[in-house]
Amino acid sequence: MAQTLRLEQSVPPQHPDVLKAAALKRMKNIALALLIFMAVVFCFAFALQPRFPWLAYVRAAAEGGMVGALADWFAVTALFKYPMGLKIPHTAIIPNRKDEIGASLGDFVETNFLAEEVVSQKLATTHIAQKVGTWLTKPGSADRVTTEGAAALRGAISVLKDDDIQDVIESLVRKHVMDPPWGPPVGKLAERIFADGHHHALVDLLVDRSTTWIQANHDTISGLVTDRSPSWVPVFVDGLVGDKIHTEIYKFARAVQDNPHHEVRLQLDKYLKDLAQELQHDPAMIAKAEDIKAQVLGDPEVRELAGRTWETIKTALTDAVDDPTSELRLKFTSAVHDFGSRLVSDLELAGKVNKWIADAAAYLVGTYKHEITSLITDTVERWDAVETSEKIELQVGKDLQFIRINGTVVGSLAGLAIFTVATLVFG
C-alpha cells in the first residue's frame, strides 16, 4: 500500500508502474474482501447452526475458505516481507535472498539463452543478411545510413586531437619512409623500369624539347660564342663560328632524336642501369642517397608534412560529410544501396554474411557471456533489498493475488467436501 502511494506521487498517472500498482492494489482488496466475506458467513452459520442444521455445511465451506485464504495469504506475503512483521523462519524470501536470486537468474540466462548453439540456431533461421538487404534497398534507407555514418565520422573527427593524429602520421612516415634506406629500393625500382624500357618515353620527351629549344634559340647560342671569343677576333668571324656551332648542335640533336639506337641513347641507358646497380650495392652511392634524403626530409620537414597531411584529410572529410551533394556521400550512398541489392539477390553472398554474423555472435557469446550476465547479477546486488522486493511484487504481485482468491475458493470446496464425507461416514 505504501509502495502504491509512493508511485502515485512520484510518476505520472499513466506510467506503466502506476497502472501496475493500481491493479495490484485492486486485486489485494478483492482477495481481502473475499476473506472477510468467508469470515462473516462462518460467523452467521456457526451462530445459527443449532436452529438450522443444514448451515453446518455452509459453516464447513466458509471455514475451509478462511483456512485456504489465510494459508495462501501467508505464502504470498512470505515471498516479499515478514507476515505482520513477525520474523518467522523462511519468510521475506526475496529481500533476504536477493543476491542469490540475481545470481541464479544470471546463471539461468547464461545457460539457456546465451549458449553458442542456441544463438547459432536462432541466427541461422533469421536470415539477417536478407532482411538488412531488403531494408537497405528501400527508398531513404541508404540515405539514412549515409547520414548516420556522416554524423559518426564528424563526431570522430571532432573528438580526435590534431597533435595525436599528427604524431601517428609522423611516426608512420619515420617508420616506413625515413628509417629504411632509400638507395636499394629506389635502385631496384629503377632497374625494373630501365630493363622494361619505360624510361625511353621520358628520354624522347627530353630530346624533343631540347631539339626544339636549340632550333628556336639561334641568337642565344651565337651570343654565347661572341661573349666568350677573344676581343681581337672580328665580329663577322664570331658570327660565322656561332652559326656553325648552332648548326652542328642542331644536327647532333636531330640525329639523337631520329635514331633510337644512337650512341648517346645507348650510353644514357648504360649510365642509368649502372646507377640503379650502384644504388643497390655501392655503399658510397647508398650513403649519398641517404644524405639527399636527410637534406630533403629533416625533422622540421617531416613534422610539417604530417601536419599538412592531416589538415588536408580533415578538411576534405569535413567538407564531404557536411555537403549532401558531395561525391563521397553520393558514392557511399550508392555503394550502400548496391550492397543491399546484392544481399537480396546474391544467395552466396547472403549466406557468407549470415555465416559471418552467426560466427561473430557465437564467438562473442562464448567469450563474453559471463560478462553479459554479470549485468543482471551486479544490478540486482546494487538494489536495496526492500526496493527489490517491491519491484518484483509490482511485476508479478497481481497474478499472485489470484493464488489467494483460488485458495479461498478451493479451501471452501475442500472444507465442504471433507465435512460432507465425514458426515456420511460417521453420521
Please report the pLDDT score of residue 58 as a whole number. Answer: 92
132-174 pLDDT, tens digit each = 889 988 888 888 888 888 888 888 888 878 788 888 887 887 7
Highest averaged pLDDT of the listed ranges 68-72, 366-370, 387-391: 68-72
Ranges of H-type helices in 297-384? 299-322, 327-345, 347-382
d(CA 171, CA 303): 10
329-340 pLDDT, tens digit each = 888 889 988 988
How many residues make up the chain in this entry? Answer: 427
Question: When comparing pLDDT for 300 and 308, which is higher?
Answer: 308
Closest CA to 19 of 395, 400, 390: 395
DSSP output for 58-94:
HHHHHHHHHHHHHHHHHHHHHHHS-GGG---TT-SHH
Please report the pLDDT score of residue 159 as a whole number. Answer: 82
Closest CA to 39 of 76, 7, 64: 64
Residue 9 in this model has a pLDDT that exceeds 50: no
Candidate from 342-346, 383-387, 423-427 with smallest mean pLDDT: 383-387
Residue 3 in this model has a pLDDT that exceeds 60: no
Closest CA to 265 of 194, 349, 182: 194
What whole-number percentage of the chain has pLDDT above 90? 11
Residue 13 in this model has a pLDDT that exceeds 90: no
Q: In 3-state terms, what secondary structure has residue 126? A: coil
Q: In 3-state terms, what secondary structure has residue 249? A: helix
Asked whether the beta carbons of 329 and 146 are under 8 A apart, the reply is yes
d(CA 324, CA 335): 15
Asked whether the beta carbons of 49 and 76 are under 8 A apart, the reply is no
Please report the pLDDT score of residue 2 as a whole number. Answer: 47
CA atoms within 13 A on the CB side of 22: 11
Q: What is the DSSP letter of 178?
A: I
Residue 215 in this model has a pLDDT that exceeds 90: no
Residue 311 in this model has a pLDDT that exceeds 50: yes
pTM summary value: 0.51
Please report the pLDDT score of residue 38 as a whole number. Answer: 93
Q: How confident is the model at residue 5 (pLDDT cuts 50, 70, 90)?
A: very low
Mean pLDDT of 69-77: 88
Asked whether the beta carbons of 4 and 22 are under 8 A apart, the reply is yes
What whole-number percentage of the chain has pLDDT above 70? 92
Please report the pLDDT score of residue 321 as a whole number. Answer: 79
228-287 pLDDT, tens digit each = 766 666 766 667 777 888 888 888 888 988 888 888 888 888 888 888 888 888 888 888
Mean pLDDT of 188-196: 86
Amino acid at 223: G
Q: What is the DSSP letter of 362?
A: H
Please report the pLDDT score of residue 120 as a whole number. Answer: 79
101-130 pLDDT, tens digit each = 778 888 888 888 777 778 878 877 888 888
- Domain ranges for the chain: 2-96+383-426, 175-297
d(CA 348, CA 359): 16
Residue 375 in this model has a pLDDT that exceeds 50: yes
20-68 pLDDT, tens digit each = 888 888 888 999 999 999 999 999 999 998 888 899 999 999 999 999 9
Please report the pLDDT score of residue 12 as a whole number. Answer: 54
Q: Which residue has the cell 526492500?
A: 386
Rg (CA), the chain: 47
Asked whether the beta carbons of 173 and 302 are under 8 A apart, the reply is yes
Please report the pLDDT score of residue 37 as a whole number. Answer: 94
